Amino acid sequence: MEAIAPVLALGTLGVVLAFAYASIREVEKRRGSDAPKSSLSRDGVAERVAAGTFNPR
């Protein structure tokens, strides 16, 4: 019964590391693609205006 705390701690650490790794891989994949930037980013609006897809409300 005393071994449950270390098991839960290591399990939680493993899940967090797996999530972080998957997140990093996804970010790197998006950086290498031609996906449109968010309109909330600094240069996102400029990119949308240049592409002609900017639609102000």
Residue 27, pLDDT score: 87
Report the alpha-carbon distance of residue 32 to residue 41 in Å, rounded.
Answer: 17
39 within 8 A of 53, measured Cβ to Cβ: no
Residue 44, pLDDT score: 75
- Answer whether 0.75 is exceeded by the pTM: no
1-54: pLDDT as tens digits: 788 999 999 999 999 999 999 999 998 888 877 776 666 777 777 777 777 776
SS3 call for 52: coil
